[in-house]
Structure 1
Amino acid sequence: MSDLLPPDAEEMRAWAEAARAAFPAPFAALSSDVRVVVEEWPDDALLDEMKIESAFGLTGLYEGAALTERSVDHPEPPSTVTLFRRPILDEWADRGDVGLRALVVHVTVHEFAHHFGWSDEDIARIDRWWE
């Protein structure tokens, strides 16, 4: 990343992949089949479906069935973690109290937590990030 330009989608994705690579056992193995993508913005249909008024309100998304909801009889196709680059950049600029890479890692870990079957409430109990 240059001093004048924010990271592009590929650099942000590389940060997310590095975060996943650092997961401890058994989470590293359990996350290996999840796709990680970076898009500029969430689309309007997704925002409508989630009842989110502003695209700036969604920095990441987990799509798929949590591991706790899968079974041998009903395996799921690979899941996806999507990071939304522009909302992350906006949140980083607004916060001013966290590094950009740290924010990307946080959003990545939060979305993977949903893959592991944790609810937002479960995550909040162990991660006081937003306080």
Structure 2
Amino acid sequence: MSKADDHSDLKAPDQAAIQMIADAAFADLPAAFRSLCGEIVIQIAEFPAEDVLRELGAESPFDILGLFQGIGLAQGGGIEGMFAAGHEPNLIWLYRRPILDYWAEHDETLGAIVSHVLIHEIGHHFGLSDEDMEAIEAAAGDV
């Protein structure tokens, strides 16, 4: 077997690689949309926490690819409320193992999946409909 045929050194992208993909996906969003996001922090974890799984009624830790955690604009957080004293920044969690599992089962690039999950979770911050999020994804693809 030639070295070209030996894929034993291939590994799944780690959390740092997923973070880089997520940061690039965020940077590719339309500038006006990004500016409205404020201080959203993107975090990568292997799986959702047990309390998240219970709260969302997930049957498996692979059921959740991402999660918005914080006070969304649609819930009355408003831009000014996001910066109130003592308020933690809004978080978007991307779950590496469920994302990789989804990637393995579908014919999409990893970047497209991470971007989709990221936009979907940001959409929760704004209270956007699925149609709104699809339009943002389309615009991000045009950048």
TM-score normalised according to structure 2 size: 0.76
Pairing of 1:80-119 with structure 2 (within 5 A)? 80-95=91-106, 97-118=107-128
Q: CA deviation at 1:113?
A: 1.1
Q: Is the 8 A contact 1:20 1:31 kept in 2?
A: no
Distance 2:40 2:61 in 1: 24
Which runs of 5 or more residues in structure 2 are unaligned?
A: 1-8, 138-143
Greater fraction helix? 2
Q: Alignment partner of 2:44: what SS?
A: strand
Q: How many residues align?
A: 124
Structure 1 regions of 5+ residues with no counterpart?
none
TM-score by length of 1: 0.82
Q: CA offsets per residue over residues 33-58 of structure 1, 9 Å max, x none? A: 11101000112221011111100100
Residue 127 (str. 1) matches residue 96 (str. 2): no
Please give the root-mean-square deviation of Cα atoms over the aligned residues, in Å. Answer: 2.4
**Partners of 2:81 and 2:13 in 1: CA distance:** 42
Is the CA contact (8 Å cut-off) linking 1:81 and 1:112 kept in structure 2? yes
Deviations 1:7-30 (A, max 9, x none): 110110111111111221321112
What's the CA shift for 1:100?
A: 1.2
One-letter amino acid of the structure 1 residue matched with residue 108 of structure 2: V
Match of 2:77 among 66, 70, 93: 70
Moved over 2 A (4+): 71-77, 124-129
